[in-house]
Amino acid sequence: MRVLLLHCDRMEYRPAGREIAAAEDLADEGPRRLEEVAVAMVSVEEGDGDGTARRAASEVAAAMAKVGCGRLLIYPYAHLSGRLAAPGAALGVLERMEEAAASEAGGSLEVSRAPFGWTKSYTMSVKAHPLAEHSMEVRGGGEGGPPAAPDKGSPAALASEKGIESSWHVMTPDGRLVAAAGFDYSGHPGLEALARYEESRRRSSDEPPPHVALMKRLAIADYEPASDPGNMRFYPNGRLVKSLIERYVTMRVRQYGGYEVETPIMYDSRHPGMASYFDRFPARQYNVDSEGRRLFLRFAACFGQFLMAHDMQMSHRNLPYRLYELTRYSFRREQSGELAGLRRLRAFTMPDCHAFCRDMPQAVREMMKRFDLSKEVVADLGIPGGGYEMAVRLTEEFYRENGQAVRDMARKHGRPVLVEMWKERFFYFVLKWEFNYIDAAGKASALSTDQIDVENGGRYGIEFVDENNERRNPVILHNSPSGAVERVMYALLENAAADAARGAKPELPLWLAPTQVRIIPVREEFAQHAAALAGRIGHTRVRVDLDDRSESIGKRIRDAEREWVRYILVVGGREAETDVSRLSVRDRRSGETRTVDLDDFLAEVRAQTEGKPFAVLNSPFYLSRRPQAAA
């Protein structure tokens, strides 16, 4: 909170008109004149609360005592700060400040408040003495306690999350629950790294993870210095990879039974469902001011899908009903020290599927279907089952009633699972499972996840009619079968960096490779034959390009290797004579060059890309026509 305190001979103001929709109602819109008054011009900021209001009242009363003034006018004034609180929250803080000030100095202060949300004309005469003008910046905390640092998101949830009472365990594939502190992690280094990561709660990175250099060298993505940190630029190669992942995940969710929708990226923070949701979701959000309204950029697809479901007339026969959106983008204002390449961003693409279920048994059955879906999706994206670790967070009550479902997931996972068990439920969900990718630095990043939500059906007024014709709120599942698309790309690149460190050839799955086949004519006279071969290959849903640069064969092959092009076809006199039906294929993975028939080669490529979406080349076909990277 920011306050400008002015000791005045007189202050006169008159409400002229409502400035925002949230303006409070007035019984009298006439002028008001006060003599011998201290005017507190107040800007309420993000994160201000009861503690801020009490501290501000105390500091203002102390300043007034120094000048012998016993009359206070609290005057809402939005022009002292660039990060104002939402209107509803601001009005509440001003009301509490008014109440607290009235009780200061034994209740001897005469306190009033100018109307909130109104455009007002005013005149004042400020006294001419050294203490007549006083500015202060007030932070929250109890009276006499240290000021609390302002938070950019949901302070109540973020603070409360740290105080959750829980115990940590490891569940073995056969369903045994062992205290995490006594578990033998031999043979499970990834799980041990996950447990240590959760224990330390340290999310910042000391060094750039290996994938950052790769994403730049392969022209996939880079930081955008003209934007807020954590908002990335994606080059043609990166956009192609990203779009293929998006299309694949969407295809799988549609096959599972999700119905695709699209919802806005910003919402009114004063909507009845939003403020209480923030208290249950510890995420930092971006705020946007628009015509006196405080909007926030979504950090998930929940809001739009819940509001949409609220307007639906659902029967128990419709359930489970599944809504899906690929959010491009979701926004979370993560702390700058936590931002690291594609691992943790402030703007990201999240496949988000909610299932509305009639009761907990149906929700548990649906969760198991989505668990299987997520395992298949992550594997098909190129992250093997041994490439991630699983964690489950749940309440003791849920485990007592549904422990078999948790044991079934551990059995399907096939390896030990980290379990956090809460004494009581704080969040809106009673269970959350997630697959965590562990990188070389021991950082854990969630990929797939699902949650069983028992609050938001009621919070958002989502209802269905049961078989007894009674209206009930559904249990809601929140599933992302892959996690953020950018995080999938991070995991793939980190895997490739680990392969390189072990001496293996780093690569992307063939269906995601920006160029799958590169053709290199030995000399210019063979360029026509090379182009004809490219045409035949390209018509079979294969991304092929042609290196027509006037570089040596050796350099062009090395460049293809550096770009992770899996197959390199060299076209010379022998290939031209056979009308390019026999190919000289250099396989980057094996390092071998072999001669194969064109049809056999195409069948080999199709076998590795079958069932995956296809996109045409997203760069010029001829390498000579591609712009060069800046030095």
- 147-164 pLDDT per residue, tens: 333 333 444 444 445 556
Q: Sign of the C-alpha dihedral, residues 187, 188, 192, 197?
A: positive
Judged by average pLDDT, the poorest of 124-138, 194-208, 434-448, 603-617 is 194-208
Q: Sign of the C-alpha dihedral, residues 225, 231, 233, 238?
A: positive
CA dist 309 to 427, 460, 475, Å?
21, 9, 12
pLDDT at position 151, please? 37
For residues 547-553, average pLDDT: 95
Backbone angles phi, psi at 422, to 5 degrees: -95, 140
pLDDT at residue 625 greater than cutoff 60: yes
| Alpha-carbon span 103 to 80, nearest angstrom | 26
pLDDT band at 248 (very low <50, low <70, confident <90, very high): very high
pLDDT at position 630, please? 64
Could you tell me the domains of the chain?
A: 2-150 (3.50.80.10), 164-208+245-265+296-485 (3.30.930.10), 510-624 (3.40.50.800)
Taking residue 492's Cβ as centre, other Cβ atoms within 10 Å add up to 25
pLDDT, one tens digit per residue, over 112-130 is 999 999 999 999 999 998 8
pLDDT band at 81 (very low <50, low <70, confident <90, very high): confident
pLDDT at position 142, please? 36
pLDDT at position 146, please? 31
pLDDT at residue 595 greater than cutoff 60: yes
- Name the 3-class secondary structure at 171: strand
Instruction: State the first-to-last Cα distance of the chain, in angstroms, to the nearest integer.
Output: 47
* Cβ within 8 Å of residue 528, ≥6 positions away: none
pLDDT at residue 535 greater than cutoff 80: yes
Please give the DSSP secondary-structure letter assigned to residue 151: -
Q: Which residue has the higher pLDDT, 89 or 352?
A: 352
- Name the 3-class secondary structure at 263: coil
pLDDT band at 144 (very low <50, low <70, confident <90, very high): very low
pLDDT, one tens digit per residue, over 372-414 is 999 999 999 999 878 899 999 999 999 999 999 999 999 999 9
pLDDT at position 271, please? 76
Q: Token match 């460190």: residue? A: 501
* Cβ within 8 Å of residue 43, ≥6 positions away: 1, 2, 3, 77, 78, 79, 80, 81, 84
Report yes or no: 309 and 462 within 8 Å, Cβ to Cβ: yes
CB burial of 169-178 (b: ≥16 within 10 Å; e: otherwise) equals bbbeeeeebe
- Per-position DSSP letters for 208-246, written without gaps between them: --THHHHHHHTTSEEE-TTS-TT-EEE-HHHHHHHHHHH
pLDDT at residue 210 greater than cutoff 50: yes
| Alpha-carbon span 449 to 630, nearest angstrom | 39
| Alpha-carbon span 339 to 347, nearest angstrom | 11
